[in-house]
């Protein structure tokens, strides 16, 4: 049975110009797809040839202030061989999109909609790219780093808060400090809760 690293090397051999050398950290293997437009081709090969038949997750990272701004991450699993592989690709703010993989794994449909809703990254060719958590017409993308932690005011009182959410010192806000993370945990400050 091939290891995740061996399968990653095979995937890179199939796309030598589009994929950087695999990296391994703490037993997890990652490949970087250099051209976002090639992601569907790489994913289709990973599924059909290498047996990565399950898309566990599709997420994104906002590198606000850097270019390219976003990193889109695909977590793949082969049920038959039990190997896990991570694919990453960078997406610039000017382009702000990449092709869908929903025709390869149906579960990508909702994952891509969530990334679109929360970050504003578009997936061309997606069969139903619309918001999945926020309401239609909401002009912001709440998981972007430039979105204020307290939220934004809205003129839709029936749908959301009419003023900014009072997050300062709230139950889910940690405190900036040099202390260990356990001491910054909100429950550590309010042990009675």
Domains of the chain: 4-143 (3.30.460.80), 148-193 (no CATH)
Average pLDDT, the chain: 86
Look at residue 33 and give its three-state secondary structure: strand
Rounded mean pLDDT of 166-193? 57
CA distances from 65 to 69, 89, 145 (A): 7, 17, 9
Q: CA–CA separation, 75 vs 87, rounded Å?
A: 7
Strand intervals (E) in the chain: 23-25, 28-32, 54-62, 70-77, 84-91, 97-99, 122-124
Confidence of residue 135 (pLDDT cuts 50, 70, 90): confident
Least confident span in 11-20, 91-100, 108-117, 174-183: 174-183
- DSSP assignment, residue 132? S
17-66 pLDDT, tens digit per residue, is 999 999 999 999 999 999 999 999 999 999 999 999 999 999 999 999 99
Q: What is the pLDDT of residue 139?
A: 85
* Beta strands 28-32 and 23-25, pairing class: antiparallel
Share of the chain above pLDDT 70, in %: 79
88-107 pLDDT, tens digit per residue, is 999 998 887 899 999 999 99
Residue 182 has pLDDT above 70, yes or no: no
- DSSP assignment, residue 58? E
Q: CA–CA separation, 118 vs 132, rounded Å?
A: 9
Residue 68 has pLDDT above 50, yes or no: yes
Is 0.95 topped by the overall pTM? no
Q: Between the ranges 70-84, 161-175, 179-193, where is the mean pLDDT highest?
A: 70-84
Q: What is the pLDDT of residue 104?
A: 98
């Amino acid at each position: 049975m091939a290891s995740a690293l061996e399968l990653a090397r095979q995937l890179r051999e199939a796309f030598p110009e589009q994929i950087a050398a695999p990296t391994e950290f703490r037993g997890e293997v990652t490949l970087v797809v250099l051209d976002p437009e090639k992601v569907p081709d790489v994913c289709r090969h990973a599924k059909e040839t290498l047996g990565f038949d399950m898309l566990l997750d599709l997420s994104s990272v906002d590198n606000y202030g850097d270019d390219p701004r976003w990193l889109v991450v695909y977590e793949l699993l082969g049920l038959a061989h039990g190997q896990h592989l991570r694919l990453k690709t960078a997406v610039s703010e000017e382009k702000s999109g990449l092709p869908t993989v929903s025709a390869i794994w149906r579960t990508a449909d909702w994952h891509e909609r969530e990334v679109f809703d929360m970050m504003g990254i578009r997936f061309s060719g997606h069969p139903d790219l619309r918001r999945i958590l926020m309401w239609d017409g909401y002009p912001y993308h709440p998981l972007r780093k430039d979105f204020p932690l307290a939220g934004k005011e809205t003129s839709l009182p029936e749908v959301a808060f009419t003023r900014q959410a009072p997050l300062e010192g709230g139950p889910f806000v940690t405190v900036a400090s040099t202390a260990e993370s356990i001491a910054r945990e909100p429950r550590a400050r309010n042990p009675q809760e």
